[in-house]
Structure 1
Amino acid sequence: MTDAPRPHSETVWDAAELWSRDRIEAHQLERLQAQVARLASDSPFYARRFREIGFAPGDLRSLEDLRKLPVTRKQDYLQGLETAPPWGELLAVDPAEVVRVHFSSGTTSQPTPACWTAHDLERWSDLYARYLYAQGLRRTDVFQCLFSYAWFVGGLGATAAATAVGATVIPGGSGDSKRQVESIFRFGTTAVIGTPSFLAHLVEVATEMGQDLRQSPVRMLCLGGESGASIPATRARLEEAWGAKTFDCYGSLESQPIGWDTAAQSGPTLAEDFIYAEILDPETMEPVPDGERGVLVVSHLDKEAGPLLRWWTGDIVVRDSRPAPDGRTHARLPGGVLSRADDMLIVRGVNVFPTAIEDVIRSHPGATGEYRIIVDDSLKDPATGFLTGLKLTVEAQSDAPQDFGGQLAARIRDLLTVRAAVEVVEAGSLPRAVHKAKRLLRS
């Protein structure tokens, strides 16, 4: 790991953050060519895929040539694990070179492993450090990590990064809520990282303890693990409750990291010297221009243990390739992850994303911010299979208007043009998440 802080300047950790667009793309092509050549010999999965489609490493002469390859999906990953257990066909190094393994949450399938070599760990830590530094973390800060350390990928990565910056690190984890609040005030924590759900939960815990987090020293809220990190109403609620700025920290198990907010809060900045990013129309699979929604597809440029080519993240984003207001040149994702492609709901022909529903609920007067979206057969048109409306369970504060549910349903109809049946429940009725919240329930 990095032994000591090594920022490039007072505002930039790594000079790569200021590369010209031409230099970024030249680096991406050079690294992709080397990566493809290595995978043709070292990755059982990609070697077979190249043979099946008649692709040779020498066929990659431009970044556009990468589109000759099909995307790699989660199902490919899972099948590779079945074919070559326990690490899978996508492992491209000798297993003896693997020094770290993290796992998926296993909420939709068996927990899947992702492997790192020593080089991968150092790269990961340095990229995280770059982003925390860009958000304003410095050696004088006290950084409390509220990500889980049990199996989850984010906790150790954030801890290593804050250590590399030189901050004082408290590896708190995502339990012992009262102790977390006590530690924030006792040790003068100035920056925390965690899921939006857990940070919202700590606000409630602090209030029950008679503490006001707005009076704490915390000035930075680094948010990850959920799409709520870039939802305006969610961010506004957290910033108001904590009296601190929020920053979206975006990554996945398979690609650590993808992009994080900088101090400018202009959208997660892609790590374009680490990944090559494409934004594709999910129907045509063709690239969409900047400013249009599409699914993010990423390719690793220098990852060793389990590099992925054209990994289908399933995350819907918008790209802006113009230089950022703070001078950084890597492309950004304004609004962060707008939704998951597989979470989109079609209500009477209208595309509705759960993130849009969350934004309406959390900006509505009287809502605690906790809710559930229920999708079941009672809402489906038997002829088309599409939903005819939304079914929501929403918590209301004790002083909420008497017609809270009706007002919220009307606002959803006005803003999202769909009908919603709102069941109103008392504050505290719904379970709180200390890790990743699951608010879309399908039955």
Structure 2
Amino acid sequence: MRRMAQPHSERYWSDVETWDRERIATLQLTSLQQQLARVGERSTFYRRQWADLGFDPRDIRELSDLRALPTVRKSDYVDSLAEDGPWGSMLAAPLDDVVRVHFSSGTTSAPTPVCWTAPDIRRWTELYARAAYGQGVRRSDVYQVLFGFAWFVGGLGVTTAYSEIGATVIPGGSSETERQIDVMARYGTTAVSGTPSFMLHLAETAERLGRPLTENRVRRIQVGGEPGGAVPQTRAFIERAWGAKVFDGYGSLEFQPIAWECEEQAGGHIAEDFAFAEVVDIETGEPVPDGTPGVLVLTHLDKQATPFVRWWTGDVVVRSTEPCACGRTLARLPGGVRGRGDDMLVIRGVNLFPSAVEAVVRGFPGASGEHQLVIDSSTKDPATGFPTGIKLRAELPSDDPGAADRLARAIRTELTVRCVVEPVPFGTLERSTHKSRRVVHEA
């Protein structure tokens, strides 16, 4: 019988979660020095880039020295794959050592592969287990995976992690909605994970079937893949529908995982022993102080197969190094991902993220919560082409003709932007079992 990994204590999976900041920084510097030396030797991409810059990994004496290197973006990775396909010139491990490959969705470019070695997979598992354990998951739990498994990176990660804790794992995936509901009730599922969109879709379906999820035993919901878990109104919406506590999680194909909330629900704790995190100004790339929004830039500290150095996530966050009430000292991301830099709309000088609109819609009385931000010519200045407001398509009660105007006023009050609301009947907008498409472009 396989022996389960043992947590550090009843409350913490790993002792690194409570190290003081100086000790964390020391670990990061030592790990960074070793990682850069290895990557510079084994990755063709970085070896060439650093040679052109005159950079030597031995030049790293302090964590701030890393800023001598440029950020690496998705376009750079795509180019590296085209240059040395199919695995790319960033690969830093022999292909014989690669045991897992996951792919991007291919929504912004051709699907891109990211590779893992066996030690990478063990590390991934340990980090996910740490997150789940910090949310209160234990061996006695029955855990149902509601993330997708087809190509998507999240499903297998959480499956192995909850198994590591010793929970009873049901890998359900993100389809067959009614069957998922039946399995939860029949087998006493106590914890689930999936995208916020699928959690809402399941709750809506269960209500329609006369089987409200509040009657189930689920008490912990881990969400990720979308910003909804960090939007207070969306979190509250899900918690009411399920009668369970929602924990926001943040990861990406390139970095799994990045940050996950503990039971305090006060912002995800960054896996700082796995990734060195910088928060920089979206325009200048210069570091911003804690508490100031900026783009998250990440560097792997021990990834072997496909390591990234100064990876531009494009995600706008706020970092805090204040200790959490849970006792963990790892830096946190209060409010989770505030938005993506490339999703940000500028409306007459106001920076607007789709997640801010979602917060207003989810909190609007009578609305289903389903909505779309529509990008078309109706809210653009005909002379300049610049947006002068936003157009929102939202499911509102058909027997309340004034709802659209009230929602438009609420958005104007909360977000200080003009809004044209197009009301549609409940059930009009497509429900997603994976990631909802909130921003749509129309002619």
Same-fold status (TM-score > 0.5): yes
Match of 1:109 in 2: 109
Paired AA for residue 315 in structure 1: D
Task: Return the letter of the residue paired with 1:412.
Answer: I
Match of 2:99 in 1: 99
Gap change, CA 1:146 and 1:397, over 3 Å in 2 = farther
Residue equivalent to 1:64: 64
Q: Measure, in 2, the Cα distance between the counterparts of 1:3 and 1:125.
A: 15
| Matching residue of 1:4 | 4
Cα offset for 1:229?
Answer: 1.1
Query: 2:148 corresponds to which residue?
Result: 148
Instruction: Tell me, in whole angstroms, the C-alpha distance in 1 between the residues paired with 2:39 and 2:365.
Output: 54
Change (3 A) 1:24 1:383: farther
**2:423 is the counterpart of 1:424:** yes
1:405 correspondence with 2:404? yes
Q: How does 1:196-215 map to 2 (within 5 A)?
A: 196-215=196-215
Counterpart in the other structure of 2:179: 179
* 1:423 aligned counterpart, secondary structure: strand
Distance 1:208 1:3 in 2: 43
Letter in 2 for 1:361: V
Paired residue secondary structure (1:87):
coil
Corresponding residue SS for 1:192: strand
Please list the CA deviations of residues 183-204 of structure 1 after superposition, one character each: whole Å capped at 9, or x if unmatched: 1110000000000000000011
Q: Secondary structure at the match of 1:435?
A: coil
Q: TM-score, normalised by structure 1?
A: 0.98
Tell me the distance in 2 between the aligned counterparts of 1:259 and 1:217: 26
**In percent, how many aligned pairs have the same letter?**
55
Alignment partner of 2:369: what SS?
strand
- Distance in 2 between residues matched to 1:205 and 1:132, nearest whole Å: 27
1:435 is matched with 434
1:380 to partner: Cα distance: 2.2
Local SS of the residue matching 1:367: coil
Write the mapping of 1:329-348 to structure 2, written as runs, cut at 5 A. Answer: 329-348=329-348
Q: Does the 8 Å contact 1:92/1:305 carry over to 2?
A: yes
Structure 2 distance, partners of 1:286, 1:31, is 23
Give 1:397 shift: 3.8
Q: Counterpart amino acid of 1:301?
A: L
Q: Secondary structure at the match of 2:355?
A: helix
CA contact (8 A) 1:374 1:441 kept: yes
Whether 1:374 and 2:374 are equivalent positions in the alignment is yes
1:285 corresponds to 2:308: no
Q: What amino acid sits opposite 1:25 in the alignment? A: A
| Amino acid across the alignment from 1:337 | V
Stretches of structure 1 lacking an aligned partner (at least 5 in a row): none
Who is 1:363 aligned against? 363
Partner of 2:161: 161
**Mapping for residues 21-420 of structure 1, pairs under 5 Å:** 21-397=21-397, 401-420=400-419
Distance in 2 between residues matched to 1:346 and 1:121, nearest whole Å: 40
Q: Distance in 2 between matches of 1:52 and 1:233?
A: 49
Partner SS state of residue 343, structure 1: coil
Runs of 4+ in structure 1 over 6 Å off: none
SS at match of 2:240: helix
**Aligned-pair CA distance for 1:350:** 1.2
Deviation, 1:13, is: 0.3
Aligned-pair Cα RMSD in Å = 1.0
- Report the alpha carbon displacement of residue 354 of structure 1 after superposing the two structures with TM: 0.5
Distance 1:383 1:287 in 2: 37
Q: Contact 1:42–1:93 at 8 Å: present in 2 too?
A: yes
> Contact conserved, 1:261 with 1:267, CA < 8 A, in 2?
yes
Cα pair 1:71 1:311 within 8 Å, conserved:
yes
Structure 2 SS opposite 1:374: strand
> What amino acid maps onto 2:64 in structure 1?
E
Q: Which AA in structure 1 matches 2:253?
A: L
Q: Supply the AA of the counterpart residue of 1:406.
A: D
Q: Say which SS state the counterpart of residue 342 (structure 2) adopts.
A: helix
Per-residue deviation at 1:442?
2.3
Q: CA deviation at 1:357?
A: 0.3
Give the deviation of 1:379 after TM superposition: 2.5
- Give the deviation of 1:5 after TM superposition: 3.2
Contact 1:80 1:88 in 2 (8 A): yes
Q: Match of 1:343, as an amino acid?
A: D
Superposed displacement of residue 182, structure 1: 0.5
Amino acid in structure 2 at the alignment position of 1:240: R
Distance 1:213 1:340 in 2: 32
SS of equivalent residue, structure 1 residue 306: coil
8 Å contact kept, 1:349–1:386 = no
Partner SS, residue 119 of structure 2: helix
